[in-house]
Amino acid sequence: MIDRKVIIYPTADVLREALASRFLLKISDRLAKRQRVDVALTGGTDGIAMLRTVAASPLADAVDWSRVHLWWGDERFVPADNPDRNALQAREAWFGKLVEDGRMPESHIHEMPADTRSDEERDKATDEENYDVVNKAAKEYEHEIVKALGKKQAFDIALFGVGPDGHFASLFPNHPALRNHDKKTRVIGITDSPKLPPMRISLTVPFIRHCRRVWVFASTPRKAEAVGKALAGYNNPHVPSSFAGGAKETLWLLDKDAAANL
């Protein structure tokens, strides 16, 4: 059973400050022991707000970003310049400046593949064609993970937000993707997400659980019901975030409002 630790902060602002500091300090600690650190980022309101806090933190200057690699827990399968892309939002909120300043190599940014088809090709695509193209992209990302990480094949830190419906990554309530328990499948393509856009790429539960540290965070009253249900038990398909866990550490970091139902 996953050993969860829950930490509650008085406000969303304090939560973001604490999470950003924890993130930066843990990266620094890991870099003191090893040559590189691999972290998986998340999108969403909480995720992007946290990255803006990371960008503004004085602790960011203590990190050797040339030894840090960025990955994603999930992504919308849309064109690379689509504003809905988690990677594009994260670049604008935080790491784009690191790359511009020469502090982080562009080659260390491992974005999930984007949809490179034309508007006409997407409009005419059949369900089968969409399935094939998004799962091919998922396999490409999985290959990149294996190639980069070798036998390790796990991220040092994986960050995840929680949706009001209890989803995390792009794993939604009662969705077949949540039931993919094949440990050899690290990344999966999705064509029928109940939340737009319908086509997405996501890490699988087995791979997420293989990551060293998994930190789940949430704020605001609208997340309270989902957080309460997720932490009431384990592996509840109605509340996908109840599956979240890390190999060494599982943290749930919440503001007081999101923790109201605990």
**pLDDT surpasses 90 at 182:** no
Count of Cβ atoms closer than 10 Å to residue 196 Cβ? 9
Q: What distance in Å separates the CA atoms of residue 59 and residue 250, rounded to the nearest whole number?
A: 23
Give residue 89's pLDDT.
97
Tens of pLDDT, residues 31-53: 999 999 999 999 999 999 999 99
**pLDDT surpasses 80 at 195:** yes
**pLDDT surpasses 90 at 72:** yes
- Delimit the domains of the chain by residue range: 4-255
Class of domain 4-255 (CATH, top level) = alpha beta
Residue 249 gets which letter from DSSP? E
- pLDDT confidence band for 2 (50 / 70 / 90): confident
String of DSSP letters for 22-53: HHHHHHHHHHTTSS-EEEEE--HHHHHHHHHH
Tens of pLDDT, residues 211-229: 999 999 999 999 999 999 9
Distance of alpha carbon 152 from the chain centroid: 19
- pLDDT confidence band for 79 (50 / 70 / 90): very high
Tens of pLDDT, residues 122-161: 999 999 999 999 999 999 999 999 999 986 689 999 999 9
Of 84-98, 103-117, 167-181, minimum mean pLDDT range: 167-181
Contact 85, 91 (CB under 8 A): no
Locate all alpha helices (DSSP H) within 150-251, ordered by sequence: 205-210, 224-230
Structure tokens at 241: 């975030």
Predicted TM-score (pTM) of this structure: 0.96
Q: What distance in Å separates the CA atoms of residue 141 and residue 34, rounded to the nearest whole number?
A: 24
Structure tokens at 81: 């310049």
Structure tokens at 9: 């902060």
Burial of 107 (0-12, 13-18, 19+ CB in 10 A): exposed
